[in-house]
Amino acid sequence: EVQLVESGGGVVQPGGSLRLLCAASGFTFDDYTMHWVRHAPGKSLEWVSLISWDGKSAYYGDFVRGRFTISRDNSKNSLYLQMNSLKIEDTALYYCAKDMGDYLYMDVWGKGTTVTVSS
Amino acid sequence: ETVMTQSPATLSVSPGERVTLSCRASQSVSSNLAWYQQKPGQSPRLLVYAASARATGIPARFSGSGSGTEFTLTISSLQSEDFAVYYCQQYNNWPPYTFGQGTKVEIK
């Protein structure tokens, strides 16, 4: 069974940092592009970032502005999102999602991990 | 950025009715459009990709159509388990990937 399990969320003060982890199983992880998507309370889904299968290419939403870094360790079937300089508006449920192939749609989603930025 | 606009925001429907959800793109996305269903407390579930192809395991009552800037998701006969929020998402003009604001299908 294809499975994505996120962890690493929590409560952090504005300006703080968090590192999210997504553990993948049930598929050949290094064959696929991977995404982070977030869902803030009362808002729509918002794409955060993607990373290519080999980790050599990464893209971000404009709102990231150099604050987040996506990475992966294919030897550990793991995806990461390092989030620095967090803002209150980064408060959301963060999903890890598998791309169907290369830069397509998301066919499998994790259950998400909650990030709360509050003073 | 390609802005995706869904209508209506909320749809009140009785079980068994036919439902049509709309999604419009601010510029052409060709057929690179997906639809997702999200129920409360659950993660999004892929329903349709490439505008009209049903994802694995999705019932035939769900169908997608359109290309360019105008898209439709139709549920031919709404079942109780279909009450949810539906999102469209384009993957043609990226970054960024963009989602519509969602259409909530609720019980009438």
Predicted confidence pLDDT, tens digits, chain A (119 residues): 999 999 999 999 999 999 999 999 999 999 999 999 999 999 999 999 999 999 999 999 999 989 999 999 999 999 999 999 999 999 999 999 999 988 889 999 999 999 999 99
CB–CB contact B43 A46 (8 Å):
no
Q: Report the candidate in B20, B16, B13 with the shortest Cα–Cα distance to residue B108.
A: B13
**Measured between alpha carbons, how far is residue B1 from residues A73, B4, B8, B22, B76 in Å?**
30, 10, 22, 20, 32
d(CA B21, CA B15): 16
Q: Which pLDDT belongs to residue B2? A: 97
Q: Which pLDDT belongs to residue A101? A: 84
d(CA B91, CA B95): 9
Tell me whether the omega of the peptide bond preceding residue A14 falls within 30 degrees of 0, making it cis. Answer: no
CB B52 within 8 A of CB B64: yes
Q: Which residues of B touch A46 (CB under 8 A)?
A: 99
CB–CB contact A106 B46 (8 Å):
yes
d(CA B20, CA B73): 6
- Minimum distance, in Å, between the CA of residue A93 and any CA atom of chain B: 10
Q: Which pLDDT belongs to residue A65? A: 83
Q: Which residue of A has its CA nearest to B49?
A: A105
d(CA B49, CA B35): 7
CB–CB contact B49 A107 (8 Å):
yes
Q: Report the candidate in A46, A6, A2, A16 with the shortest Cα–Cα distance to residue A116.
A: A16
d(CA B20, CA A31): 36
Note the pLDDT tens digit of each residue in B23-47: 999 999 999 999 999 999 999 999 9
**Which candidate from B44, B95, B102 shows the least CB-CB separation from A61?**
B95
**Which candidate from B34, B45, B98 shows the least CB-CB separation from A105?**
B34
Residues of B with CB under 8 A from a CB of A: 1, 32, 34, 36, 42-46, 49, 55, 87, 89, 91, 94-102
d(CA A35, CA A70): 9
